[in-house]
Amino acid sequence: MEANPPQELYVDKHVAYIKSLDTRKDELEYWLTEHLRINGVYWGLTALDLLGHRGVLPRDKTIEYVKSCQHENGGFGAHPGHDAHILTTVSAVQILAIEDALDKVDKDQIARYVASLQDRETGIFAGDQWGEVDTRFIYGAFNCLSLLDKLDCIDVEKAVQYVLLCKNYDGGFGMLPGAESHAGQIFTCVGTLAIAKKLELIDHELLGEWLCERQLPNGGLNGRPEKLEDVCYSWWVLSSLAMIDKLHYIDRDHAVAFILSCQDPERGGIADRPNDMPDVFHTVFGVAGLSLLGYPGLREVDPKYCMPTDVIKKVVG
């Protein structure tokens, strides 16, 4: 970490950075990330909201863009012309929820698409028509359908039982049964159980110990043992701890200092670690991590959804 890391969050710089992202069409990076475009809109919109700048992006254009990514089967692609996928469909629904525009789409049609991806024998979800399976996709289905009030379209119990099969002896979860515990996958599994109101099925103490061990001496968090710290784990680890009421297990001040040290003080945005290039992915998860840690001036984030708490209260209840 820097010898004298910044002690403040450069809110105005970050807002300007996010607003600039769709104007950089002369840069190769813009075109190489087209497959993440709708996810990027969700990341930027959420970061702006948590920073207290809701309404900065043009609402009507944002809604029209999201709708332009929808397929006849109800799913959404990353950009017009891209195949529908559950992860991009989740981002689309999250954007519409934040913009208070879920009435602009056919909720039943979207729900049917998501439900069609579940294997009713095992409970697992595929990401798209090609059949890749992963616990990320279960979480995506639960996130999306709960925002649409359509969880009754799927076999919730079968999905919960599959998630529990992915639990390891160390208390963590992997992407499939028997796979290594990883903080990102832990978030998806704990998030699924939280949305299903089944958190009592896991060992909070054991999982909390594994998660708090992700904090390194520099204050940052990694995703699994012997790996480098990365700002995005400020979300995956801290949100999981928050959902099981163990957020106090980590050193808050040290974690805050690490996230702040990853800011770009000139251009705005947050990077994976100090002195690296910022991007919108790490910006939203850095800001969301700070929100979980109670950083002053930020709007409250819901640890299950990575969305503003007031939006979740309005949409989900």
Mind listing the pLDDT tens digit for each residue in 279-313?
999 999 999 999 999 999 999 999 999 999 999 99
pLDDT of residue 7: 79
Q: What is the mean pLDDT of residues 111-123?
A: 97
Give percent above pLDDT 90 in the chain: 93
Per-residue pLDDT reduced to its tens digit, 16-53:
999 999 887 878 777 778 888 999 999 999 999 999 99
**90: number of CA atoms within 13 Å, CB side?**
22
pTM for this structure?
0.96
pLDDT of residue 79: 97
Per-residue pLDDT reduced to its tens digit, 206-242:
999 999 999 999 999 999 999 999 999 999 999 999 9
Q: Assign domain 11-316 to a CATH class.
A: mainly alpha
In whole angstroms, how far apart are CA 219 and each of 216, 252, 275, 281, 294? 5, 9, 16, 20, 16
pLDDT of residue 5: 61
Q: Are 218 and 258 in contact (CB under 8 A)?
A: yes
The crossing angle, in degrees rounded to 10, of helices 233-243 and 252-261 is 150
pLDDT of residue 104: 97
Residue that the structure tokens 């959902």 belong to: 243
Residue 303, beta-bridge partner list: none
Q: What is the DSSP letter of 221?
A: B
1 pLDDT tier (thresholds 50, 70, 90): very low
Per-residue pLDDT reduced to its tens digit, 123-136:
999 999 999 999 99
Look up residue 131 and give its two tokens. Answer: 């059949």
Q: Does the structure show a pLDDT above 50 at 108?
A: yes
Distance CA 110, CA 296 (A): 37
